[in-house]
């Protein structure tokens, strides 16, 4: 019997501790009204409202107050709880850069997130990536030119219910998109 080896983009040892460590340092600057986070610059870097690990390029924390959030180029993976409802309560639409190749379980656990845009054809999405994101309704998979409509399932998860092909841009359709290949 083969041992189970989790995918690189799945939960990693220390992910919850990292989230808790970063989340407890979030504060609001009295002068600017903007959120700030304390972090170890040897382990993490900050790009806008994002805290990203230096060694892996994993997005560990979003603390934006914006409704539309664009994940910066160079981010390779989205860690568990990176988009947590308590730290980015207003986010409605998350746009992933084409460098994002993996989304871990429980990465998007925000009650306000309604829309997700994916720009990488070969992205890995954990089975539980959208658990606790009952408001998610639409996933745009740009490189596959498909919009996936989702709905709440069992009170906590987003599950696909309908697929639409996006308008063609004049490029010949060579897509081999198969809804059965979706990980959720």
For the segment 21-79, what is each residue's pLDDT rounded down to a tens digit?
999 999 998 888 889 999 999 999 999 999 999 998 999 999 999 999 999 999 999 99
Query: Is residue 178 predicted with pLDDT exceeding 80?
Result: no
**Average model confidence (pLDDT) across the chain:** 81
Whole-prediction pTM: 0.80
Q: Which of 163, 161, 145, 143 lies closest to 153, judged by CA?
A: 161
More confident residue, 27 or 166: 27
Query: Is residue 169 predicted with pLDDT exceeding 50?
Result: no
Question: With b meaning 16 or more CB within 10 Å and e meaning fewer, what string describes 66-95?
Answer: eeebebeeebbbbbbbbbbbebbeebebbb
Q: How many Å apart are CA 25 and CA 128, to the nearest integer?
A: 27
Q: Are the CB atoms for 93 and 118 separated by under 8 Å? A: no
Distances (CA, A) of 93 to 5, 109, 111, 184: 32, 13, 12, 19
pLDDT level of residue 11 (50, 70, 90 thresholds): low
């Amino acid at each position: 019997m083969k041992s189970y080896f989790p995918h690189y983009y799945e939960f990693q040892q220390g992910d919850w501790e990292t989230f808790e460590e970063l989340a407890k340092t979030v504060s609001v600057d009295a002068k600017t009204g903007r959120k700030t986070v304390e972090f170890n610059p040897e382990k993490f870097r900050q790009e806008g409202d994002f805290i990203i690990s230096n060694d892996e390029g994993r997005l560990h924390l979003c603390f934006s107050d914006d409704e539309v959030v664009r994940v910066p180029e160079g981010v390779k993976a989205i860690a568990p709880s990176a988009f947590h409802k308590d730290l980015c309560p207003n986010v409605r639409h998350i746009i992933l850069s084409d460098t994002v190749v993996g989304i871990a379980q429980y990465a998007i656990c925000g009650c306000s997130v309604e829309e997700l845009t994916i720009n990488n054809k070969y992205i890995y999405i954990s089975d539980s990536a959208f658990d606790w994101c009952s408001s998610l309704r639409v996933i745009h998979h740009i490189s596959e030119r498909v919009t996936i409509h989702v709905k709440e399932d069992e009170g906590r998860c987003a599950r696909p219910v309908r697929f639409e092909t996006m308008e063609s841009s004049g490029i010949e359709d060579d897509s081999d998109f198969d809804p059965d290949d979706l990980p959720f």
